[in-house]
Chains A and B, each alone.
Chain A
Amino acid sequence: EAQVTQNPRYLITVTGKKLTVTCSQNMNHEYMSWYRQDPGLGLRQIYYSMNVEVTDKGDVPEGYKVSRKEKRNFPLILESPSPNQTSLYFCASSLVGSYEQYFGPGTRLTVT
């Protein structure tokens, strides 16, 4: 089954404790992206990647890092999480040029 998976689905952590949210897709998509969803703000793009070893900032990259060492994986790293990063995070993937994105189920992160 074609899908985008994210882990963990729920995470509660404390300020400053490094964490990684994993994202994996099995559709051989070149393009992958991370979004955060906050009430009233819709989805805002954090980082995206056009292919392996190619990443770029989205609209809200501060406080986040990503890497793309393999085509199928695109982890999101929070080196020092802060409470304002409490949000619902989505990973998505697509073929380059198609713009039709497939979304993961989301990761709800709470930073206290």
Chain B
Amino acid sequence: AQSVTQLDSQVPVFEEAPVELRCNYSSSVSVYLFWYVQYPNQGLQLLLKYLSGSTLVKGINGFEAEFNKSQTSFHLRKPSVHISDTAEYFCAAAYSSASKIIFGSGTRLSIRP
């Protein structure tokens, strides 16, 4: 069965420190990958997406992610976080064989001053 695993439910980090949020997906011939962010009391907003091409994808707010096919990973990174990055982050995968997106369980990023 297709699945998306976010390995960390919570990630605390100090302001201006780098951060990596991990995501693994179940392998498939064709997969599209996404990171969404959910700020407190809001809906989900697309951060970035990988459809094809360059494996390094840049998104909004200084985030980037790297598609690694051999490790079936799509980790999200930011070199220096800000208090305003406090949110929950969801990794998601869409498989061309299915008409739906599968979400991971989410990672709550908390920034300490």
Residues of A at under 8 Å CB distance from B?
4, 31, 33, 35, 40-45, 48, 50, 56, 58, 90, 92, 99-101, 103-106
- Extra A-B contacts (18), CB below 8 Å, given A4-B43, A99-B34, A99-B49: A31-B99, A33-B100, A33-B101, A41-B105, A42-B105, A42-B106, A43-B90, A43-B103, A44-B103, A48-B99, A56-B99, A92-B44, A99-B94, A99-B101, A101-B44, A101-B101, A103-B44, A103-B45
In the complex, how many residue pairs between chain A and chain B have their CB atoms under 8 Å apart?
A: 50
- Bound-state CA distance A99–B96 (Å) is 10
CB distance from A35 to the nearest CB of B (A): 8
Q: Is the CB of B100 within 8 A of A40?
A: no
| B32 closest partner in A (C-beta) | A99
Pick the most buried of B9, B90, B105: most chain A CB atoms within 10 A of its CB.
B105
CB distance from B103 to the nearest CB of A (A): 4
**If the complex has contacts A40-B105, A42-B106, A99-B34, are A58 and B44 also in contact, measured as CB distance less than 8 A?**
no
- Bound-state CA distance A48–B32 (Å) is 18
